[in-house]
Amino acid sequence: MAAMAAGGGAPGGKRANARLPPEVGRIVFVKNLPFKITPDEMYDIFGKFGAIRQIRLGTNNKETRGTAFVVYEDIFDAKNAVDHLSGFNIGGRYLIVLYHQQARATKKMDQKKKKEEIDELKNKYGVE
């Protein structure tokens, strides 16, 4: 019965038995967005692929400008968006659409923290 709900109610439907790669998730990371894109435009573009729970646009911060996180209600909608919007041209920019990988983001933060700790120790002991 749970398989029917996941498959949209169609017995033997593709979604009920579909196997997804392990990196697929409901959260999609988007890069190379035009800086002036509005939240309404994001909902128009990404909403065509399914119900959206949340969109988080990057701020004016140099590292996050032109990026966004799109959280879909359904994992299959997120997969459909990644499949169809990667390389899509918006405002003369080609989108890079990836699945958000929490472990990878955490690892990057850990490396940055470790580098800061090493630099701090080098300064403390006068090592170049």
How many alpha carbons lie under 13 Å from residue 49 in its C-beta half-sphere? 24
The residue that leads in pLDDT, 91 or 121, is 91
pLDDT for residue 48 is more than 70? yes
Give the amino acid at 39. Answer: P
Using the predicted structure, report yes or no on whether residue 25 has a pLDDT greater than 80. Answer: yes
Residue 31 lies in a domain: yes
Q: Is residue 116 part of a domain?
A: yes
Is 17 within the bounds of a domain? no
Domain-embedded: residue 4: no
The DSSP-derived string for 39-108 is HHHHHHHHGGGS-EEEEEE--SSTTTTT-EEEEESSHHHHHHHHHHHTT-EETTEE-EEEE--HHHHHHH
CATH of residue 84: 3.30.70.330
Q: Which residue has the tokens 């920019």?
A: 93
Contact 46, 70 (CB under 8 A): yes
Would the pLDDT of 2 be above 50? no
Q: How confident is the model at residue 1 (pLDDT cuts 50, 70, 90)?
A: very low
Structural domain includes residue 16? no
**Residue 57 belongs to domain spanning:** 27-125
CA dihedral 77, 95, 66, 39 (to 10 degrees): -40
The DSSP symbol for 18 reads -
- Give the Cα separation of 55 and 40 in Å (integer): 10
Number of domains in the chain: 1
The band of 11, judged by pLDDT with boundaries at 50, 70 and 90, is very low
Per-residue pLDDT at 4: 38
More confident residue, 41 or 61: 41
